Amino acid sequence: MYQVIGGIISPVNDNYKKKDLAAAHHRVAMVQLALQMSDWIRVDTWECEQAQWMETVKVLRHHHHQLLRSLSPEEGPDQGTAVSPAPAAAPELKFLCGADVLKTFQTPNLWKDEHIQEIVEKFGLVCVGRAGHDPKAYIMGSPILRRYQHNIHLVREPVQNEISATYIRSALGQGQSVKYLLPDAVIAYIKNHNLYSRDSPQKGNGTRNSGAETGQGGPATAPLSSP
C-alpha cells in the first residue's frame, strides 16, 4: 500500500532538559555523520532550533506541511521524486517509534489525549517492537488507540537489537568500547569533542573544538580502539 519516499530524524530541543543531554549542535552533527551512507534518511533541525521544547504533534504538523508544499505542482515539474503529484495519493507523514514510546502514551499527564488522537488519526504510527514490550496490549488497553488501530502499523523486529543510548553513554564513561554499536564516524566525533566521558566539563556537553583527546588514564582500562 505504501512507498516510503523519505525519512527524517528530528533531534529534540535542548530545553527538554533531559539528564546528560549533549548540546543540540553535537547531536545533530552526530546524526549527520551517521546518515552519510544513507540515501533516503535526513536530519532536520527545525525542532531543536525553536526557542522552546515543543510537543511531538507540532513537529508532525510542521513536517507534514513541509511535505505537502514540496510535492505540490506549483513547485515545478522537476521534483526529483518518484511521486507524480497529479493522480497519486496524498503523501503521508508517519510517526516512527519503538514500542517503548507507545507505552508512554499510558503515562499519566505525559501526552495530551487530543494529541495522541491527532497522531494516530491524522498522521499514523509505525511502531517497531522491542524486547519486553507488548504493543498489541498497549493498543487494546487504550480506547483512542483501539479506535485508530488501522492506522497503527506494528513492525516485528526479528533481530533483537537492544542498543540503548543510555548504555552507550555509560560504556563511554567507563572507557569501554562501543565499536560496531554505532557508526565509526560518530564514535570519532564523540572522542574528538570529549562527549559522554567521565571527565567532560559539563557531562554530555563536551567541547566545541575538534581534536581534544579523550584521556581515559590508568593501565587497567582498555585503550579506545581507533575507528
Does 166 interact with its own copies (rule: CB under 8 A)?
no
Residue from 15, 38, 84, 202 binding its own copies (CB under 8 A): 38
Does 89 interact with its own copies (rule: CB under 8 A)?
no
CA nearest neighbour of 133 among 151, 154, 115, 148 = 154
Which CB, 184 or 199, lies closer to its own copies? 184
> What whole-number distance in Å separates Cα of residue 148 and Cα of residue 53?
27
User: Which single residue is written with the C-alpha cell 495522541?
Assistant: 116
Residue 189: half-sphere exposure toward Cβ, Cα within 13 Å:
19
Does 211 interact with its own copies (rule: CB under 8 A)?
no
Residue from 73, 75, 167, 208 binding its own copies (CB under 8 A): 167
- Judged by CB under 8 A, the chain residues 109 through 138 that form the site for its own copies are 131
Residue from 17, 18, 40, 77 binding its own copies (CB under 8 A): 40
29 CB-near residues (< 8 Å, 6+ apart): 189
Find the part of the chain contacting its own copies (CB under 8 A) among 17-25, 32-40, 64-72, 134-142: 32-40
Which CB, 26 or 130, lies closer to its own copies? 130
> Residue 135 burial (CB < 10 Å; 0-12/13-18/19+)?
buried
> Residue 19 burial (CB < 10 Å; 0-12/13-18/19+)?
exposed
Residue from 136, 137, 180, 202 binding its own copies (CB under 8 A): 180
Positions touching its own copies (CB under 8 A) are 3-4, 37-40, 131, 158-164, 167, 171, 176-177, 179-181, 184, 219-222, 225-227
